[in-house]
Amino acid sequence: MSEGIINKETKTVRVIALKNISTPIIREISYNNDSIDDFENEIKNEKNSKYLLRYPTIYIVNDEVTPNKYSVYVGETNNIKRRTSEHLQDDSRLDTFWKKIDESNDAKMFLIGHDHFNKSLTLDIENKLMHYMTGVDTVELVHNGRSNQQDEYYTSDELDPIFYKIWGQLRKIDKNLFPVLSVIRDSAIFKASPFHRLTSEQLAAKDTIIMKIEEALNRDKVGQLILVKGEAGAGKTVLLSNLFYDLTQMAAENSDNSILKNKTQTLLVNHDQQLKVYKQIANKLGIRSKVNPETVEKPTKFINDHLGKSMVDVVLVDEAHLLWTQGKQSYQGENQLDDLLKCARVVVAVFDPNQILSREQYWGLDKLNRMTLDALSEGNLVELHNQMRIDGNKNTVEWIRRITDEQKVTNIPMDNKYDLKVFNSPEELYGQLSKKSLNEESGISRLLATFDWKYIDKKKPDNGEKYWNVTVGDFSMPWNLQLPQTKEQKRHNKGLAWAEQEQTIGEVGSTFTIQGFDLNYAGVIIGPSVKYRDGKIIFDKSASQNTKAKQRRTYEGEKIDASDTLLKNELNVLLTRGVHGLYIYAVDEQLQNRLLEAQKGTL
């Protein structure tokens, strides 16, 4: 088995588990009724035939629609012969996917059996396979009408070891369709997939949200706000993605009993990089099409298309803290959330006030409190408390929170799970980060910085430099989205988020490209706008180049300066990107010295 298949953190445990699990039985068969009949006759006298013909099985139907590009269906059944007949004879008359499979001469199936398979385990492995298949670059469409997360059951502890054995065997047969798992796990589409196994907190939140949506629709209410609050890394995006997928499936159900049948839903996000990811997911799962293109949209376009014209049943808003609270050239309103509530019967808004980054998104404390209290009084406030991103112990999470929330620097705690380091120079930091990025097991690692160096989009620097650079002493590196790409790179990078593109290891990311995303290791250059004075972190807007954060804005008739809040939120977003590690260098001498002392444990 490839080392890349097993996560470094749980490698020893999984290797032990793998040794105690029998090998799955996998057969590749041409996908048609005749081939299934021939296969049944061929193996019916074999010793292990019952695990493929009479036990629960998993099957992966795949069709190479263009060279190295596949359409895939993942399913489970107790009778593969009957299920194949249903797909090819019944489903092919109603479903274009199965019609194409039926007409294809190249469609194949991997039939998977195991002596420990039961209904719950096969449903969980089916779900896990769909999760990984959506992250495979060569897979254009993953077709299946449900997500199948199961609760605890007798053999639930065997899910991961059996899955890794299945994937390892499938990879030996077809490396294009089944690449190294660590590569898939690094993709943004995998991290935002609706097929993640939800925690009990997320499951309870989803059940509550669906119940409140059904209640609002059943009573024919309009403009109902369900507010989902949680800090960075609390699992908000995964919850929303899962909820969105389930709502689309419920809307397409044949049952006449569901209030959600035939209801319309749209997912909105004001972040260009995150929008790319959601569109990829919608395309791969067949949710978004030429017939229904606005399933995933930006708020401004949606409002312009619907306000005063047509009503949508359910609108889901990810990163709702990025909604505008003032007009711009493309948006003539005053508050995007208020306008969305006029366009939808129900709005589910995922919100974190500590990630508001610019004056256009600024909410006064009074309006934030009012909105939260209104949702609470209606029973429409859902809160997520668990930290899902930072894979460190409680003390590490609290150390990062203390910097961002209390503006204090304390001794860095010991943590065998999380790599938290302060470096003496940006060169040293970047050198370590580069090594991580080259290590397949370490995954995607990128350099980030506070917006304290000039950058003007779509304009060349006027100082003779080739790029807008982040410069500290002799260290200099271009800001994001500037390095040239070959035609092949452009083709490969189309639709990929900034951090997923290979050349971006040579760029510095900002909050505007990294917000909402995970990095396995995040390197952060804390620029001169963040200082340490008189025992506390302070924010100096005169040292920032982030005009969206430092310029005053008119709010409810008054000019206000929200720079302290917005620059603090900028730091919060950057320091909470790393899943397995955070590397820091501070430009301000006093802050850098304080961090180095914290690393030594001498505070």
Give the torsion through C-alpha atoms of 335, 339, 344, 349, to 10 deg: 0
Predicted confidence (pLDDT) per residue in 144-199, tens digit? 766 667 777 777 888 999 999 999 999 999 999 999 998 898 888 998 999 998 99
Q: Between 584 and 288, where is the model more confident? A: 584
Q: Based on the domain organization, do 405 and 283 belong to the same domain?
A: no
Range of 146's domain?
3-185
Binned at pLDDT 50, 70 and 90, residue 135 comes out as very high
Q: Mean pLDDT across the stretch 5-9? A: 41
Q: Based on the domain organization, do 586 and 490 belong to the same domain?
A: yes
Q: Based on the domain organization, do 451 and 571 belong to the same domain?
A: yes
Q: What is the CATH number of the domain that holds 268?
A: 3.40.50.300
* Rounded Cα–Cα distance for residues 483 and 496 (Å): 15
pLDDT of 12: 45
Q: Based on the domain organization, do 578 and 482 belong to the same domain?
A: yes
Is 505 inside any structural domain?
yes
Q: Based on the domain organization, do 484 and 348 belong to the same domain?
A: no
State the burial class of residue 165 (Cβ atoms within 10 Å of its Cβ: 0-12, 13-18, 19+).
buried
- Phi, psi angle pair for 94, to nearest 5°: -115, -20
Is 191 inside any structural domain?
no
CA angle 281, 285, 57 (to 5 degrees): 125
Contact 169, 28 (CB under 8 A): no
Is 195 inside any structural domain?
no
Residue 16 has pLDDT above 60, yes or no: no
Q: Based on the domain organization, do 22 and 121 belong to the same domain?
A: yes
Q: Based on the domain organization, do 32 and 158 belong to the same domain?
A: yes
SS3 content of the chain, % helix, strand, coil (to 5): 45, 20, 35
Total tally of structural domains belonging to the chain: 3
pLDDT of 549: 77
Strand pairing partners for 227?
Answer: 349, 381
Residue 495 has pLDDT above 90, yes or no: no
Tell me the average pLDDT of the chain. Answer: 87
Q: Based on the domain organization, do 317 and 414 belong to the same domain?
A: no
Predicted confidence (pLDDT) per residue in 318-351, tens digit? 988 888 877 777 888 888 899 999 999 999 999 8
- Phi, psi angle pair for 4, to nearest 5°: -65, -15
pLDDT of 583: 98
Residue 113 has pLDDT above 90, yes or no: yes
* Rounded Cα–Cα distance for residues 240 and 206 (Å): 8
Binned at pLDDT 50, 70 and 90, residue 440 comes out as low
Is 322 inside any structural domain?
yes
Is 190 inside any structural domain?
no
Strand 224-229 and strand 344-351: the pairing is parallel
* Torsion sign across C-alpha atoms 235, 241, 243, 246: negative
State which of 350, 383, 416 marks the end of a domain. 383
Is 434 inside any structural domain?
yes
Contact 122, 57 (CB under 8 A): yes
* Rounded Cα–Cα distance for residues 119 and 536 (Å): 57
